[in-house]
Amino acid sequence: MKTKLEPASLPRPGGPYSHGLKVSCRELVFVAGQIPVDKDGKIVGIDPSDEFRYPIDLETQVRQAYLNVIAVLEEGGASVRDIVRLDTYVAVSAMNEYRKIGLKLKREMLKGSEPPGATVFVNALMITNALIEIGAIAAID
């Protein structure tokens, strides 16, 4: 069972998240940071014929990272509705574009679920040409 924690002393969240969740569950599913790779391990959202691999399609990368998170959740018997923590890391080079599309895609991919978490802008991610990494924790009732 999950209960949103929205203290009256705090402003309403400015995006699709809650300030906190009180959770009782029987199992947890921990999802490692997922980057925008397809099942063959190839980074999506880039044109392989472009020597410098620019521009990178951030929307395609965000969508794939969420699909990878969802796949891990489903493998563990969970869904996006079970997420109790969602952390997103975005390359600072994509910061402005992410601010435009990130919340829209989060709402779409999480189907209205609003887990607490953090969005952090970083210099770079471990994998070249990956602009996003998303990790999650889910609690199954």
Measured CA distances, 36 to 2, 23, 58 (Å): 29, 29, 9
CA atoms within 13 A on the CB side of 30: 1
Residues of the domain holding 113:
2-140
Beta-carbon contacts of 56 under 8 Å, excluding residues fewer than 6 positions away, are 45, 46, 94, 129, 131
Number of independent structural domains in the chain? 1
- Along the 141 residues of the chain, how does pLDDT read in single tens digits? 888 899 999 998 888 888 998 988 899 999 999 999 999 999 999 887 766 656 789 999 999 999 999 999 999 999 999 999 999 999 999 999 999 999 899 999 999 899 999 999 999 999 989 999 999 999 998
**Dist CA 10 CA 29 (whole Å):** 29
CATH code assigned at 72: 3.30.1330.40
**Dist CA 89 CA 111 (whole Å):** 20
